[in-house]
Chains A and B, each alone.
Chain A
């Protein structure tokens, strides 16, 4: 079986959080969809709250803790990313954005990213389209067509027409992720040392 790495960013603050719940649903569906295409995934979960203080230190003191370094490196080496944030003040949470800010500029270039969000009301669902999608487009990620939003009523699920139920949206998004990831070669992460130009090239200004 082929193997790919999947990094899951979950920026919920509560324990447990509905953001984490949605991240877990997406992860399980992605794992299953990829297995159906002969791909086994190694999942790395990054609970952003666990590196919240590290991120603050990184911002103000340029100090990158080992735990934060591991999380950033995992993203920079991932074959695919699932990113889920709670909605705060009509956008992704500040903590979620702070983690994204700490990524190297090229960490997500060309990487398939499935975006998701949770909020206390469905009225925030377009956050995925006006905040999350442009953010990852800026990072030159390959943002998948289906983005998954979960409001409180989604966790009941009876009131939705069957095609719009949360589980159906999760499966559709996971299918898109699997389709893209299975068709791509394993990512070769950028290695600043292996990829450093030769001195002859540097001298000649190439």
Chain B
């Protein structure tokens, strides 16, 4: 089970002081959060990709490359990389480059973007959102797995004798998750390829996400990648944690009430009742997170949102220390104990290289004696 943090990189005034960080301060804070993730024993740091204010992270591989140089163990990921408006050739090259620089500590989550105008800004049409995600990813996979690609499609200039460089580290591309909050087509895409599915279920109602994840699991089995409970699922979550509940609620409320996206809407109490948001003690975060497994089955990756809505960096780092010391070790122990042996961990570069090597050493021996089939009586 992997635990980590994901950030949208919003530049938001701190409602308790009125102070807005500069872009430089926010970018620096994101790097500090990533370093803290490794320091407190979390596994994953994931950054969003946005091309509109008030968000700063437009260039994920630049940031993740910088983080890679300052960490040793941390897995670097995205939440999400825009498969619709980025050129798949550039995604193939950027993330392969990052793989080499980070020693394989890289995967990515593909998504379709957070704002309508991002499509026209990059010369695309929002009505092609799903077809773009389908075609671009099909090309991305070929660029990673085939050394020389001839290709022609609807959305991009054709390629003849093209080799994307560098080639993926050890010949194994980064593992891919597909993120969606709404579209069965994206869950279907993840299932078809045997990729991971990430449900950022931080808005109510959970019932919708349960159906989406369940659909992905059934289709994963349908396409022959394993049983439904072996499909690779990641979930979002959101926490503000203090030693005791009352302090957490008192400190977080001004940030909640003024937060982008959900501020000035439901009350903190309503939102915590119906969404994964937990504002409370370490034990409350543990209890709430354990319910995710009841709703979605055994899953492989849990990412927490801890740094939005203008929360100052020192407060965020304190949160992460509590997560690392008091929350995640308990969750790791409890979730690992409940997980059946046949449910896999999230793939890593090392496990994918090992799986590839095992498959290729098994493949060239088709003449191996076939074991007698036991007891198939007509």
Contact = CB atoms under 8 A, between A and B. Distances in A.
A and B found bound together:
yes
Interface of A: 56-57, 60-66, 69, 192-193, 196-199, 202-203, 205
Contacts of A205: 131, 134-135, 154
A69 B204 CA distance: 10
Given A57-B266, A202-B134, A63 B185 contact: no
Given A196-B185, A199-B192, A60 B265 contact: yes
Given A196-B188, A199-B188, A61 B138 contact: no
B264 interface: yes
A199 B275 CA distance: 31
A68 to B, nearest CB: 9
B243 interface: no
Contacts of B263: 61
Contact of B274 (A62, A65, A196, A199): A65
A161 B184 CA distance: 56
Contacts of B274: 63, 65-66
Residue picked from B188, B189, B274, most chain A C-beta under 10 Å: B188
B130 interface: yes
Residue picked from B138, B262, B263, B265, most chain A C-beta under 10 Å: B265
Which 4 pairs from chain A and chain B are nearest by CB? A61-B265, A196-B184, A61-B262, A199-B192
A63 B262 contact: yes
A62 B189 contact: no
Nearest to A62: B203
Contact of A199 (B189, B207, B215, B261): B189
Given A57-B265, A62-B261, A193 B211 contact: yes
8 contacts: A60-B264, A60-B265, A63-B271, A64-B203, A196-B184, A196-B185, A196-B188, A196-B215
B205 A64 contact: yes
Interface of B: 130-131, 134-135, 138, 154, 184-185, 188-189, 191-192, 203-205, 207, 211, 215, 261-266, 270-271, 274-275
A164 B247 CA distance: 65
Contacts of B131: 202, 205
A203 B184 contact: no
Residue picked from A56, A65, A193, A197, most chain B C-beta under 10 Å: A193
A162 B289 CA distance: 65
Contacts of B266: 57, 61, 63, 65
A205 B133 CA distance: 11
Residue picked from A62, A192, A197, A202, most chain B C-beta under 10 Å: A202
B234 to A, nearest CB: 20
Given A196-B185, A197-B185, A199-B188, A63 B265 contact: yes
B372 to A, nearest CB: 37
Contact of B204 (A63, A193, A198): A63
B261 A61 contact: yes
A13 to B, nearest CB: 21
Given A66-B204, A196-B184, A196-B185, 10 more contacts: A60-B265, A63-B204, A63-B262, A64-B204, A65-B270, A66-B274, A69-B207, A193-B184, A199-B191, A205-B135
A60 B203 CA distance: 13
Contacts of A203: 134, 138
A192 B205 CA distance: 16
Given A60-B264, A60-B265, A69 B154 contact: no
Nearest to B184: A196
A192 B261 contact: no
A196 B214 CA distance: 14
Nearest to B181: A62
Residue picked from A63, A69, A196, A203, most chain B C-beta under 10 Å: A63
A116 to B, nearest CB: 31
Contact of A193 (B215, B262, B264): B215
A69 B184 contact: no
A136 B137 CA distance: 39
Nearest to A202: B134
Contacts of A61: 261-266
A202 B205 contact: no
Contact of B185 (A56, A64, A65, A202): A202
B257 to A, nearest CB: 11
Contacts of A193: 184, 211, 215
Given A64-B205, A193-B184, A56 B215 contact: no
Contact of A56 (B188, B189, B265, B275): B265
Nearest to B153: A205
B308 to A, nearest CB: 14
Nearest to B130: A202
A196 to B, nearest CB: 4
A196 B187 CA distance: 10
A168 to B, nearest CB: 44
Contacts of A202: 130-131, 134, 185, 188-189
A110 B18 CA distance: 51
A57 B107 CA distance: 35
A119 B346 CA distance: 61
B225 to A, nearest CB: 13
